[in-house]
A and B are shown apart, each in its own frame.
Chain A
Amino acid sequence: MCLAVPMQVKRVEGHDAVVEQAGAALNIRTDLLDEVAAGDYVLVHAGYAIQRVDEDEARETLALLRMFGIDTQTGQTTDATG
């Protein structure tokens, strides 16, 4: 039930916004975020944006994952978890 999906904001008007995911447009509300702008990625749950996705953090996680991928190919050990 706590399913939430990242979607890109296309338009904002007051507390209403249009987001797009995989080519489909959806009307959502932005009451739970202070500032939302076109182009932002937001996490959508039950018709509301519940958080802005931090793209820098997403890139960092992906970079870490790529290291795990490279490890499998080279057989090297990575201690990325601290």
Chain B
Amino acid sequence: MRLVDEFRDAEAVAGLREAIARRLSRPAKIMEVCGTHTMAIARAGVRQLLPPTVSLISGPGCPVCVTAQGEIDAFLALGECPGVVLASFGDMLRVPGSTGSLETLKARGTETRVVYSPMDAVRLAAASPEKEVVFFGIGFETTVPTVAAALLEACRLGLRNFSVLSAHKRVPPALAALATDPELAVDGFLLPGHVSVILGLEPYRFLAEQHQIPCAIAGFEVTDILEGILHLVTQIADGRAALANQYPRVVRPEGNPTARALMERVFTPTDAVWRGIGPIAASGLALRPEFAPWDARQKFALDWDRFANVPEPPACRCGDILKGIASPHDCPLFGRGCTPARPIGPCMVSSEGTCAAYYRYQIG
């Protein structure tokens, strides 16, 4: 068993496709919340497999896309402090801040490192005691426990030249904001599989129970996604709302309590600004006060208030696109001023962004 190819079976795809088409007579809008789903859906051509009654809209689940302009500017500003090495996941490399990106900073001589794992940044700090390694903490609950574990390892090793700038975001508060947004018209949520690996089912129950929105947690292979959609269209056709777990091979009802305990030991919820969407209460994560020596916000004397309300590029419609209100084609910049080679908005720069997926796979 390799647990990957088996979930791409062509006959199963055809069967699921027919079942979805049979199930629904009226039009339905389904939001895929997660950016990794957006990419998988575009790459596997899922839209072309669906009947015209089912439309998929992309949600705010690309962590790079929702990182506020001010958070990016703050991280880039840390690169000007003496001895600092900026360490980041590769996803962030080309995302533009107000005056440049990690990539342009590197070209101008700032030391930057792309890491696959936050633990690589800890190892870098251990190997370079003369440097100050600052890791950019981006990502949702899937990623946060890995950063928490790496930070605790840095503490254990007594490394004082490692710190984290946290721009982490929590998915459930954003879903709550979407569910109560009067502009939003979705008939069901395809919920993020790997965030759910950590969180389990409990944090999503309110969507079905209080807001009567059908929900399905799905994996990322083509049959996983189609199964999730089939479950949603079945609920929509039956006029009921429930929370279905279509990814039980890795999503347990209780999630991963060990990972959550590490996350909660290091981080505490805080208000955060989502790019394009605005402030959402308790939707971010700050380091707890006892980890101040490893918190870049405490360690470096920048004028942090300067980064609190940095304006986003004018004319860019990423905000409406992240909320599923607009399609990339509704944006005056899409494919004209804003392309993957010269991105303006975050939805174009991240490979998981809705605009990048639409551009690359010529959707619509």
Contacts and interface: CB of A to CB of B under 8 A. Distances in A.
Contacts of B146: 29, 32, 45-48, 50
A6 B15 contact: no
B35 interface: yes
A51 B15 CA distance: 30
B55 to A, nearest CB: 20
B299 interface: no
A68 to B, nearest CB: 3
Contacts of A57: 248-249
Contacts, number: 164
B357 interface: no
Interface in B1-35: 1-4, 6-7, 9, 11-12, 14-16, 18-19, 22, 34-35
A2 B139 contact: yes
Contacts of A53: 3, 249-250
B197 A4 contact: yes
A46 B192 CA distance: 17
Contacts of A71: 15, 18-19
A61 B248 contact: yes
B11 A72 contact: yes
A47 B11 contact: no
Query: Secondary structure at chain B's binding surface: helix, strand, loop or mixed?
Result: helix
Interface string B106-130: 0000000000111110000000000
B283 interface: no
A69 B11 contact: yes
Contacts of A43: 194, 197, 250
A5 to B, nearest CB: 8
Given A47-B146, A81-B230, 8 more contacts: A1-B139, A2-B34, A2-B142, A32-B256, A41-B3, A51-B252, A53-B3, A66-B12
11 contacts: A1-B139, A1-B143, A6-B2, A22-B2, A32-B258, A45-B143, A51-B250, A65-B7, A66-B12, A69-B9, A69-B12
A2 B230 contact: no
A46 B89 CA distance: 9
